[in-house]
Copies of this chain bind each other. A is one copy, B any other.
Amino acid sequence: MRRSGAELDPDDGRELLTERTPRVAAARKLLRRASRFDAGRFLVEGVRPVHEALTWAGESPGRVHDLFLTDAVADRDPTLEERARALGVRVARVTEKAAAGLSDTVTPQGVAAVCSTVTVALETALAGSPRLVAVLVGVADPGNAGTVIRTGDAAGADAVVLAGDSRNQPVDPHNGKCVRSTMGSLFHVPLAVSRDVDAVVTALRDRGLTLLAAAGDGETVLDAAADALLAAPTAWLFGSEAHGLDERTAALADHRVRVPIHGRAESLNLATAAAVCLYASARAHH
């Protein structure tokens, strides 16, 4: 007798879970921020991101809980199921419709994993002696946040912090678009989320980090002359794409730094400005 919500695979008669199967329905709820918060779990979609999640689970088992995939994906990449089973992940084949229900994109990938959330406490993210930290203040766009997490990873950042007050709630890095934009870096860099910007600034200062606020009208220009400044352990504060860093937060930094504009552009976008700043630090550190 078939389980609730299961369908028989037309090819081999095996069971395929449908969108009505309780496990699939529960996973689907993780597309909502509140459900992710309550469950402490989130969804990772796509062959390559799921492989990244499995590698992450390999370092500390028990962090990937379910793997849902269609026959088509399992046939294309048999290592997905093998790796997941070896790690004790519950594996289930699902219908195309069930897989689509686990996706927030218009082109579902046919594979999704339920993972424990990756964020850690601020103290944990800043443990050791961090030399480069990226802080996003009031950044609400998940694509921008994900790109900065990816860039921070590439530039060798020791942590990324998503900060913002209650009016300006920080983005949830477990949001599907943010996860995709990180291209796996979500699993590489210690990530913390905090609504208390002052507490973040205090914690960074306590660890001896120089605080640099990226600001289009900053007094310090990010050029060769800034190398001595950048050689110190540094936390960069970046504001939102639309509004930049608020005055109050910028004033908490040791220096307000601007990327020089040599042409007639008024500004850079958040992700490219962050890339220039973080790589200027990486260059000074290496």
State the A residues within 8 Å of B (CB).
147, 150-157, 181, 183-185, 188-189, 223-224, 259-269, 271-276, 279, 282-283, 286
Contacts and interface: CB of A to CB of B under 8 A. Distances in A.
B264 A153 contact: yes
Number of copies: 2
Given A150-B268, A154-B262, A183-B269, 12 more contacts: A150-B269, A153-B264, A153-B265, A223-B283, A259-B279, A260-B286, A272-B272, A272-B275, A273-B275, A275-B275, A276-B276, A279-B279
28 contacts: A147-B269, A147-B272, A151-B265, A152-B263, A154-B261, A154-B262, A154-B263, A156-B262, A157-B263, A183-B265, A183-B266, A183-B269, A184-B265, A184-B266, A188-B263, A188-B264, A189-B263, A223-B286, A259-B279, A262-B282, A268-B275, A271-B271, A271-B272, A272-B272, A273-B275, A275-B275, A276-B279, A279-B279
Nearest to A156: B262
Contacts of A260: 282, 286
Contacts of A157: 263
A259 B275 CA distance: 11
B283 A155 contact: no
Contacts of A185: 263-265
The 4 closest A-B pairs by CB, nearest first: A156-B262, A272-B275, A154-B265, A153-B265
A157 B276 CA distance: 16
A46 to B, nearest CB: 13
Nearest to A155: B262
A52 to B, nearest CB: 9
A41 B95 CA distance: 47
